[in-house]
């Protein structure tokens, strides 16, 4: 049994070596990350400052990317929106990876009843639509970024734990693990010092891909008005706010955040898949 | 090159293969031939180039390989064949038996499908004919036709290797390449598979190139033996001569370092050091660094194969063959 | 009679309906070398794994210097004491080392666990020297080493624990002939120096002859023949032992007859 990373067929062309797409995507990821980190110093306006006189104005030297229906500067909101839009998925990925690896390692290493219990309970989460779970948790805990992040982390955990479990099962069958057991090392030492570093690259590559999906899910939630508070700049929220403007013939404030969501997700997926491919091909 | 057809089933001449990122050729001037119906063993340690040499008969070469020399199967140069000719070669004229039958078979396909599809997919045989031949061959290798409906997981390793032998004979090949076909098997099963190979060779008249690391096995089953070291043929000749009076210090050292039932108990005569790395350029004899006969000339000049006095088919690439005579291993 | 460093008494192990190990007993004298010979499915590897504690026997016990080797222990002290009784060298030198750990780290890890607070630098040099590896190899990752070098590292790692018995499970089977001879000689030297006991699991009768004093022949989980190696190989009493001996390729070898004998058995 070998672990296979989830990936779609037909993308072989753009994944081949020396493909410029990978570099472009890597660059884009770096750019978005930099924008998110430096946003407070980059923004030309307060993202919530309302300038109703200029509402729905197109691009101009004062407002490079125009103004939305509520009279807020789109560029400022995009830049600051990158923070929430990236911070959320980051939280999801960190939490789901840490918890998923712990669950997967325990299940894979101990086996037996613990494996059954853990595997069945993660399958239970699998059977439950992630978005529905998120909406449920948000409706209980109310507004704020934390509730959707926790909800999605739980929804993503089974993917990580299942991958980790199968990797651990393969890895622990290698004789070097038996060798450490014979040497008198404890199970915990072997898991943390030897198995974890050997499976980490594959898990992290998968987590990079998960990042893109989490970004999409969180944007979807905030488009539905769930999670992110109304005034916080966020790409999903911006699409929601901008949809009325489209009807008035001013699509820029909705299309730009949409484009950023799509490009960021694609970029993270390409980078993640490329990484996963490289890790999988590595001679072990 | 087409002026004269060679009488040999397989004729390799001056084969030199260079792979990207290496300092010296993986194969360097390999000359080898297998006559019709002849069993030839190619002996070497890992990295000696023995597998690559055998695979060259099917033009199965690693990507990026730069090839010089000629590999002819029944007089036709394999290296210049187009895709269609190669397919015909691989499904008909030359077939291969791999070391690990379990790894070479798709576990989800029945043994019968595996045997039959190799010939029906190319259209060289109808399904009914192929089934009949598969049944016949399975009987020939000592299995009954119930094996056709079994999955690889349901039979033992020895039986599976017999299936592989049957599969290799499906297209009625002129040459069978067997790459360590018994290494993954138990000793008693090995004897059975070897007996089978010998019998089938006599019955179907196929040439057999037997690749192995085991000198004793090679000597026991083959007419002639080639010993390879670091991509070159170190010594070649009839099995008995090579064993009784080796003319290359590598062959003699290999014989001495094999733990044997007949040999005196105690320490073995090991060969110190390791075979030369591919990243390192070679001047002179590749074995010089590990050789107890080596002199200055060995480091400077690569030895050419020279014929043993009085034994025209026994050749060794060594400057000091004559000093070795008289110090053979009593086999 | 010298004291036995390792003794197995009536080992049994079944998997489903298969009796992998069926009433196996043997004794290894202090400083001796015992071979277990058999083909795949003979139970020799399962026996070895029971001895080191990677498998549990259904019945029977293992004694080290007369003391029963306890079942798997949770406590650190007991675990380490068990490790110092028996160590193991595995068949595949390519898989028995963590690909991410350098030679130096492998040895230090073991020394830290078993001998905290001693001079590890000196001991690492000693061990590398003992297995014929230069200090240059210390920084290498397994990937950079040849099969023979890796097996030397595996031996050094086992010796680092200073065990009473070393179990070698087909430890030279994956190596080239010329390298195999080096390792077999090395093992002979180490036994002479340290008086460590060897339990040598192999299918190769030539190897058995070369490195063992006594041998047991296993078939389908049972011991079919046991005795001093020289005697068993010179005058086998069980037909299966004879078949094994005849199966070894040599000039004038008759595979046909062996195949017939195998079917008859």
Q: Which domain holds residue C261?
A: 236-265
Q: Are the C-beta atoms of C153 and C134 separated by less than 8 Å?
A: no
Query: Residue A238 pLDDT more than 50?
Result: yes
Portion of chain A with pLDDT greater than 70, in percent = 91
Q: Which residues of A touch C52 (CB under 8 A)?
A: 182
Tell me which DSSP letter residue B320 carries: T
- Clarify whether residues C167 and C262 are in a common domain: no
Answer yes or no: do C180 and C95 share one domain.
yes
Closest CA–CA distance from residue C97 to any residue of chain A (Å)? 5
Cα gap C240→C224, rounded to integer Å: 8
Residues 152-171 of B with CB under 8 A from C: 157
pTM of the model: 0.83
CB atoms closer than 10 angstroms to residue C90: 24
Evaluate whether B92 touches B118 at the Cβ level (below 8 Å).
no
- My answer on whether C39 and C107 are in the same domain is yes
When divided into structural domains, chain A yields a total of: 1
- The torsion angles phi and psi of B177, rounded to 5 degrees, stand at -100, 120
Q: Does residue C108 sit in the same domain as residue C83? A: yes
Structure confidence at residue A103 (pLDDT): 92
Nearest in space to C208 (alpha carbons), one of C171, C240, C256: C171
Which helix (H) or strand (E) covers residue C27, if one does? strand C18-29
Q: Report if residue A56 sits inside a domain.
A: no
Residue C196 contacts residue C190 (beta carbons within 8 Å): yes
Pairwise CA distance, residues A99 & B104, whole Å = 39
Per-residue pLDDT of A78-133, as tens digits, reads 888 888 889 999 999 999 999 999 999 999 998 888 889 888 888 888 888 878 88
Nearest Cα residue in chain B from C41: B186
Q: Could you give the CA distance from residue B194 to residue A220 in angstroms, rounded to a whole number?
A: 67
In a domain, A55, yes or no: no
Give me the domain span that covers residue A86. Answer: 19-37+72-281
How many residues belong to chain B?
Answer: 331
CB < 8 Å to C80, chain A: 184
Residue A66 belongs to a domain: no
Question: Does some domain include residue A42?
Answer: no
Interface B:C, ≥3 CB–CB pairs < 8 Å: yes
Are both C211 and C229 inside the same structural domain?
yes
B3: pLDDT strictly greater than 50: no
Edge-first strand listing for the sheet containing C67-68: C18-29, C4-15, C59-64, C67-68
Domains of chain B: 10-103+173-190+203-324 (3.40.50.300)
d(CA B41, CA B45): 13
Q: Is residue A107 part of a domain?
A: yes
Residue in C147, C184, C258 nearest the CB of B188: C258
Kindly report the CATH number assigned to the domain that includes residue A236: 1.10.3720.10
CATH of the domain at C112: 3.40.50.300
Inter-chain contact B270–C255, Cβ cutoff 8 Å? no
For residues C198 and C248, membership in a common domain is answered with no
ipTM for the whole complex:
0.87
pLDDT at B236: 94
Tokens 């576990």 locate to B107
Smallest Cα distance from B200 to chain C, Å: 12
**Looking at the structure, do residues C219 and C242 belong to the same domain, yes or no?**
no
| Nearest residue in chain B measured CA to CA from C182 | B270
* Closest by CA position to A93, among listed A161, A33, A171, A152: A152
Q: What angle do CA C57, A185, C184 make, to 5 degrees?
A: 75
Together in a domain, C197 and C254: no
Residues C206 and C159 placed together within one structural domain of the fold: yes
| Same domain? C146 vs C260 | no
Count of pairs with CB atoms under 8 A, one residue in B, one in C: 127
For residues C248 and C224, membership in a common domain is answered with no
Q: How far apart are CA B108 and CA B98, in angstroms?
A: 19
pLDDT number for residue B1: 41
Q: Give the pLDDT confidence of B144-200 residue by residue, as tens digits.
A: 888 889 998 888 888 888 888 888 888 888 999 999 888 877 888 888 888 888 888
Q: Is A249 on the interface with C (CB under 8 A)?
A: no
How many domains does one find in chain C?
2
Q: Is residue A46 a part of any domain in this protein?
A: no
Helix, strand, coil shares, percent, chain C, to 5: 45, 25, 30
- The A residues from 159 to 198 touching C (CB cutoff 8 Å) are 174-176, 178-186, 193-194, 197-198
Between A28 and B100, the more confident residue is A28
Q: Considering only CB atoms, which chain C residues are within 8 Å of A182?
A: 52-54, 83, 86-88
pLDDT digits (tens, 9 = 90+) for A264-274: 999 988 888 88
Question: What strands lie across the sheet with C86-89, from one edge to the other?
Answer: C86-89, C165-169, C197-202, C33-37, C214-219, C222-228
Mutation test of the interface with chain A: which of C45, C74, C98, choosing the one with the most A Cβ atoms within 10 A? C98
Residue A51 counted as domain residue: no
Is residue C72 located within the same domain as residue C148?
yes
A92 lies in some domain: yes
d(CA B33, CA B236): 11
């Amino acid at each position: 049994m070998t672990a296979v990373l989830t990936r779609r067929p037909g993308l072989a062309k753009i994944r081949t070596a020396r493909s410029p797409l990978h570099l472009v995507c890597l660059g884009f990821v770096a750019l978005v990350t930099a924008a998110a980190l430096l946003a407070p110093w980059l923004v030309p306006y307060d993202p919530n400052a309302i300038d109703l006189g200029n509402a729905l104005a197109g691009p101009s030297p004062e407002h490079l990317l125009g103004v939305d229906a509520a009279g807020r500067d789109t560029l400022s909101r995009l830049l600051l929106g990158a923070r929430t839009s990236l911070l959320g998925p980051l939280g999801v990925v960190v939490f789901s990876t840490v918890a998923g690896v712990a669950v997967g390692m325990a299940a894979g290493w101990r086996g037996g009843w613990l494996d059954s219990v853990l595997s069945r309970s993660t399958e239970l989460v699998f059977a439950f639509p992630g978005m529905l779970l998120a909406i449920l948790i948000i409706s209980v805990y109310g507004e704020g970024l934390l509730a959707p992040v926790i909800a999605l982390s739980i929804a993503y955990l089974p993917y990580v734990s299942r991958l980790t479990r199968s990797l651990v099962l393969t890895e622990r069958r290698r004789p070097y693990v038996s060798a450490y057991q014979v040497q008198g090392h404890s199970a915990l030492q072997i898991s943390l010092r030897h198995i974890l570093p050997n499976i980490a690259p594959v898990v992290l590559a998968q987590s990079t891909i998960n990042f893109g999906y989490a970004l999409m899910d969180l944007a979807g939630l905030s488009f539905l008005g769930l999670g992110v508070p109304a005034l916080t700049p966020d790409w999903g929220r911006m699409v929601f706010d901008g949809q009325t403007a489209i009807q008035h013939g001013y699509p820029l404030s909705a299309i730009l955040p949409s484009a950023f969501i799509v490009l960021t997700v694609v970029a993270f997926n390409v980078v993640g898949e490329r990484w996963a491919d490289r890790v999988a091909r590595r001679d072990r | 090159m087409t002026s004269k057809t060679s009488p040999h089933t397989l004729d390799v001449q001056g084969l030199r293969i260079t792979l990207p990122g290496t300092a010296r050729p993986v194969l360097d001037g390999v000359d080898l031939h297998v006559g019709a119906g002849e069993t030839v063993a190619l002996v070497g340690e890992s990295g000696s180039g023995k597998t690559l040499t055998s695979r060259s008969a099917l033009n199965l070469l690693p990507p990026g390989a730069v090839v010089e020399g000629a590999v002819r199967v029944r007089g036709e140069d394999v290296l210049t064949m187009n895709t269609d000719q190669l397919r015909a070669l691989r499904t008909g004229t030359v077939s291969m038996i791999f070391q690990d039958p379990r790894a070479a078979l798709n576990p989800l396909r029945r043994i019968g499908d595996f045997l039959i599809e190799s010939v029906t997919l190319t259209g060289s045989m109808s399904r009914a004919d192929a089934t009949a031949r598969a049944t016949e061959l399975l009987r020939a290798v000592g299995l009954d036709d119930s094996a056709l409906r079994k999955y690889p997981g349901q039979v033992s390793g020895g039986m599976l290797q017999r299936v592989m032998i049957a599969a290799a004979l499906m297209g009625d090949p002129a040459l069978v390449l067997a790459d360590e076909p018994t290494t993954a098997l138990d000793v008693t099963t090995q004897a059975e598979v070897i007996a089978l190979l010998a019998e089938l060779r006599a019955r179907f008249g196929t040439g057999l190139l037997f690749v192995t690391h085991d000198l004793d096995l090679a000597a026991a089953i083959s007419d002639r033996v080639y010993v390879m070291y670091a991509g070159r043929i170190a010594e070649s000749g009839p099995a008995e001569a090579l064993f009784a009076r080796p003319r290359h210090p590598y062959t003699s050292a290999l014989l001495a370092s094999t733990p044997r039932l007949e040999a005196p108990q105690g320490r073995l005569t090991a060969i110190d050091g390791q075979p030369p790395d591919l990243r390192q350029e070679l001047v002179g004899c590749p074995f010089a660094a590990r050789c107890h006969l080596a002199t200055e000339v060995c480091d400077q000049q690569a030895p050419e194969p020279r014929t043993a006095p009085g034994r025209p088919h026994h050749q060794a690439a060594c400057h000091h063959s004559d000093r070795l005579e008289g110090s053979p291993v009593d086999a | 009679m010298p004291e036995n460093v390792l003794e197995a008494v009536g080992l049994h192990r079944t998997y489903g309906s298969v009796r992998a190990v069926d009433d196996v007993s043997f004794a290894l004298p202090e400083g001796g070398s015992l071979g277990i010979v058999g083909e795949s499915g003979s139970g020799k590897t399962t026996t070895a794994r029971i001895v080191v504690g990677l498998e549990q026997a259904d019945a029977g016990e293992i004694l080290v210097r007369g003391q029963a080797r306890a079942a798997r222990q949770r406590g650190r002290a007991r675990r380490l004491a068990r490790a110092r009784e028996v160590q193991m060298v595995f068949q595949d030198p390519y898989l028995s080392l963590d690909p991410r750990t350098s030679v130096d780290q492998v040895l230090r890890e073991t020394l830290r666990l078993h001998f905290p607070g001693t001079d590890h630098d000196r001991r690492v040099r000693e061990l590398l020297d003992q297995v014929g590896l230069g200090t240059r190899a210390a920084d290498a990752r397994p990937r950079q080493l040849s099969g023979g070098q890796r097996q030397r590292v595996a031996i050094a790692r086992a010796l680092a624990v200073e065990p009473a018995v070393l179990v070698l499970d087909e430890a030279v089977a994956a190596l080239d002939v010329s390298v195999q001879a080096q390792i077999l000689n090395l093992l002979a030297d180490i036994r002479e120096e340290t008086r460590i006991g060897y339990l040598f699991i192999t299918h190769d009768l030539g190897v058995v002859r070369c490195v063992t004093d006594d041998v047991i022949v296993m078939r389908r989980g049972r011991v079919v023949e046991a005795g001093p190696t020289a005697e068993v190989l010179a005058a086998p009493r069980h037909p299966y032992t004879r078949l094994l001996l005849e199966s070894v390729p040599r000039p004038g070898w008759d595979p046909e007859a062996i195949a017939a004998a195998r079917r008859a058995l």
